[in-house]
Amino acid sequence: QVITIEKERYIVGEALFQPSILGLEDYGIVHQLITSVSNVASEYQKQLLENTMLCGGTVSMTGFEDRFQREANLSASAIRPTLVKAPEYMPEDLARHSAWLGGAILAKVVFPQNQHVTKGDYDETGPSIVHKKCF
């Protein structure tokens, strides 16, 4: 069976910039980032904005980074994000999964020692391990 994907492949990325095309009454990704950063103490805003890294599968779409930067430059806000590229030494496959990796690292740092569930724990005990270790 052949499935032809035409305009749908562009709508996915475009919806991040214009959620209204999906019927959502919300702001786009650039506005959301600027709003989030503006809610942080002013002494940290510059550092956050100078270290903005887009990651995950969506950003591998052709032209996504250029569009993001163009939208950021058009923003009425004085806050302007600057994109940081993944380090050159990072394998492409690793960069593609960097959003998940970042979440995993954050979870390891934020949760107190021994409050995380390993695959071994889960395999040994099953789903109930989550309630035993995390609550």
Same domain flag for 92 and 81: no
Same domain flag for 44 and 2: yes
Cα–Cα nearest to 38, from 76, 5, 66: 76
Range from 14-18, 88-92, 98-102, 106-110 that averages highest in pLDDT = 14-18
Which tokens belong to 9? 């492949």
Same domain flag for 110 and 121: yes
Same domain flag for 31 and 63: yes
Q: Tell me the pLDDT band of 33, cut-offs 50, 70 and 90.
A: confident
Same domain flag for 40 and 61: yes
Same domain flag for 67 and 2: yes
Which pLDDT does position 110 carry in this prediction? 64
Q: Which domain, by its residues, includes 45?
A: 1-85
Is the pLDDT at 112 greater than 70? The verdict is: no
Is the pLDDT at 36 greater than 80? The verdict is: yes
Q: How many domains does the chain have?
A: 2
Same domain flag for 52 and 94: no
Same domain flag for 92 and 56: no
Q: What integer best gives the mean pLDDT of the chain? A: 80
Same domain flag for 31 and 72: yes
Claim: this prediction has a pTM higher than 0.75: no
Same domain flag for 24 and 54: yes
Cα–Cα nearest to 27, from 76, 82, 61, 99: 76
Residue 4 burial (CB count, 10 A): 5
Same domain flag for 26 and 37: yes
Q: Tell me the pLDDT band of 65, cut-offs 50, 70 and 90.
A: confident
Same domain flag for 50 and 92: no
Q: Where residue 45 sits, what CATH number does that domain have? A: 3.30.420.40
